[in-house]
Structure 1
Amino acid sequence: MADLFTLWRNSVDANSRRAVDVYVRELPDYRKIADESGERAAMLDFAVYLRERTVALVRANEPFPAADLAFIRAVGRNRAESGLSLASQRHALQIHTSLTLKEVHEAANPHDLNDIMHTLASLPALGLAAQTAYTQGFLDGQEAVLPVVDRVQQLAGALLADDPVAVDMAASVAMNLPGDCVVTVVRVPGGDPDRADVLQVLLSRHWTPVCWTGPGEFVALVPDEAASLAVVEHFADLVGLPCAAGAARGRSGELSEALARARQVSRAAPVRSAPGAVHHLTDLFPEIGAARIPPVDRWLRELARALADGPDLLATLDAFYRNDMGRTRTAAALNVHPRTLDYRLQRVHALTGLDPVSVRGVRILSATVSRALSGWEAV
């Protein structure tokens, strides 16, 4: 009876055809490439080559030699230059790993236990080396066909998804990755600025991972709070639209959780034409808590509607609390006489039954103002 490696090698041609069929069926980018003259044959040749070399190296207990890795890297580069997307490239690597394990299982017999264990011990190192070479080649190829702004956005997306490929992507754009960073989410409600132009200008001053995650949401990964505020202020100047900023600190490799927290904060943050602060959870935890409890949020909405009956009462309270309830500074910020400010605060008390300078009043009215200025976003 033939051993595992002989049966595995004899199945290479059939397994390679099946692999190409799977890529073409499941990945639109591969389907498009396969339709081009000669590309499907090239895909099949590479599938056969990779399987033949894998079987031989596993049997000999040897790593990929430099010449093999150089060839795999060249194929990766060609895939990028052919228009394959990063998402398709990552998916293809996952499919290849699954198919390789399936092919070993199909070739194995009960008496092949030692060969199976040897194969399973060898495949991780071989697979990692091949995938690393292919990915590095792919990133090399993207440099020739993809603008740097798009490559930086891909890097930011990989970091936010905790994808290990981010390390290679950062190297490909000559960007240093800090161990810790502040994930900053800027919400632009009701606006859709020219995204590419904004990013191009931002990157010329702040060489850091940035991306648009939607028409009205921008994300930056920066080393500290000072850099976070600098990026947000520059961003606001560029888009010329009211926005709200929230942030959360996280470690590289665990940034998806930080993104979720920063997004929650940005949705609870007040929308301003010129954001003077980047909010964190500790700044807006009452508002975030209220937004998650519908009866409480409805109550705050009722208070906001009551304040709408007065002269600029929401704006007055906003300025009052932003200036730490200092009457002189608040009056100057509003460009009104201090007596006018006193009248407005008395009007708030009359409409809501809450004294704006009492502990209870500060707790409730400040949350009401922040929720109203946020646009009552769900968090």
Structure 2
Amino acid sequence: MLDRALELYRQGGHLPADVLASCTAVGVQLAERGGRITPLLHAWEVGCSTVIASFWDSAQPGEQNDLVALTQWMSATVKEITAAISLAYLHAQKQAGLDTSRRVLADLMLNGSANDELAAAARHTPVKEYAVVAVQVADEAVPSAATVARASAALTNNDLGLSCQVGRHLCVLAPIHGRQNPMERVTQVMDVVKKAGIPLAGPAGTVTAARSELGAAVQKAAEIERLAKVAGIGEDTVGSDQVISELAISRDDEYRRVLVSLITPLREAPELLKTLRTLYLMDLDRTKTARRLNVARRTLTYRLERIEQLTGINPVRTRGILAFVLAIAAYDLDQICLL
């Protein structure tokens, strides 16, 4: 590799077509098999850095000037080959009928390894911060390639970012420029996705994150989406501040078990648990609660008294409300985990 690099450098620095072809061949093969290009780019960059380091390590006195010129040439050449690999990969994916270059870029960005050349090829300039959105698509256990492509096209036309599929979620990485409000950006994204005819199953989890933290941010946004469903939040978008209790419960198994134990006495009386849920859903309005349950007010009063008798907790006092709301959330999380 050292000898080949020197030979090319001495030939005037222009990469012959056969050299570029041999470099890009692996990228094309990966694309045709549906494999990722990330490991190849990592290996290429590490290998080239090793070559440069070995030159400097073995340099003799008086060779520094030549090494500076060689290092600059190597740096430019690495970018040229990386760009060639990236473009060949994207072209092969399109020829194979796979997804758009934007999905490829999104996929790489999730691994924190998108490079400037690939970003330029996909006509997206990476920014420092992104609004990350994770949402499930109605009637699709996993977002299909067609759904991701439709979202990508809609977002591209409106310059709102990139879409990709991560697990069961359709994810959008929306770049935040300057002092843009992240939530306003998210609202725009949701509107565009809906107008593209993509039916969404419930609210979207949202997180704001630096480009280097996108992988973790996507997972957190997906977790927020799941917890928002458990909490029964009906809004289009949900941030971490709206599911603080659920986040705490989901991350502490012992805390969750203690909370669930508070309503264990009610498991044999499902009408009482339903009464609690409805009461809190109706913001403690007993008239609306009784109407929703289709029972008389005195029946509702009897049920609330029975709940206190069985659990020792008053469901309409401040501490009781807090305890039961958290206990119901913990119970629902347990049920989700059992599915």
Shorter-chain TM-score above 0.5:
yes
- For 2:27 and 2:296, the matched residues in 1 are separated by 65
The answer as to 2:260 corresponding to 1:306 is: no
What secondary structure, in the 3-state scheme, does the structure 2 residue paired with 1:112 have? coil
- For 2:290 and 2:245, the matched residues in 1 are separated by 26
Which residue of the partner structure matches residue 221 of structure 1? Answer: 173
Question: Which residue of the other structure, out of 156, 179, 186, is the alignment partner of 2:106?
Answer: 156
Which amino acid is the alignment partner of residue 259 of structure 1? V
TM-score (norm 1): 0.64
Which residue of the partner structure matches residue 41 of structure 1? Answer: none
The answer as to 2:65 corresponding to 1:98 is: no
Which amino acid is the alignment partner of residue 39 of structure 2? H
What secondary structure, in the 3-state scheme, does the structure 2 residue paired with 1:183 have? strand
What secondary structure, in the 3-state scheme, does the structure 2 residue paired with 1:164 have? coil
- For 1:72 and 1:341, the matched residues in 2 are separated by 80
- Note closer, same or farther for the CA distance 1:93–1:56 as it changes in structure 2 (3 Å cut): farther
User: In the TM superposition, what is the alpha-carbon distance from 1:298 to its structure 2 partner?
Assistant: 0.8
Which amino acid is the alignment partner of residue 145 of structure 1? A
Could you tell me whether the CA contact under 8 Å between 1:76 and 1:134 is conserved in 2? yes
Aligned residues: 319
TM-score (norm 2): 0.70
- Residue identity over aligned pairs, in percent, reads 20
What secondary structure, in the 3-state scheme, does the structure 2 residue paired with 1:210 have? strand
Which residue of the partner structure matches residue 248 of structure 1? Answer: 207
Root mean square deviation, CA, Å? 4.5
Question: Which residue of the other structure, out of 328, 336, 346, is the alignment partner of 2:294?
Answer: 336
Which residue of the partner structure matches residue 164 of structure 2? Answer: 211
What secondary structure, in the 3-state scheme, does the structure 1 residue paired with 2:238 have? coil
Q: Deviations over 1:116-162 (max 9, x none)?
A: 6524455334323432343234323433224336x444333223222
- Residues 1-379 of structure 1 mapped to structure 2, 5 A cutoff: 8-9=2-3, 12=4, 52-53=7-8, 55-56=9-10, 68=15, 80-84=27-31, 88-103=36-51, 110=58, 112=60, 115=63, 118=68, 119-120=70-71, 122-148=73-99, 151-165=101-115, 172=121, 180-186=129-135, 192-193=141-142, 195-200=144-149, 202-203=151-152, 208-214=161-167, 216-222=168-174, 224-227=185-188, 238=199, 245-271=204-230, 276-330=235-289, 334=292, 336-337=294-295, 339=297, 341-374=300-333, 375=335, 377=337
Answer with 104-113 or 316-325: which moved more.
Answer: 104-113
- For 2:319 and 2:172, the matched residues in 1 are separated by 36
What stretches of structure 2 of length at least 5 have no aligned partner? 175-181
- For 1:209 and 1:338, the matched residues in 2 are separated by 53
Q: Deviations over 1:232-254 (max 9, x none)?
A: 98999847xx7675321223343
- For 2:329 and 2:311, the matched residues in 1 are separated by 16
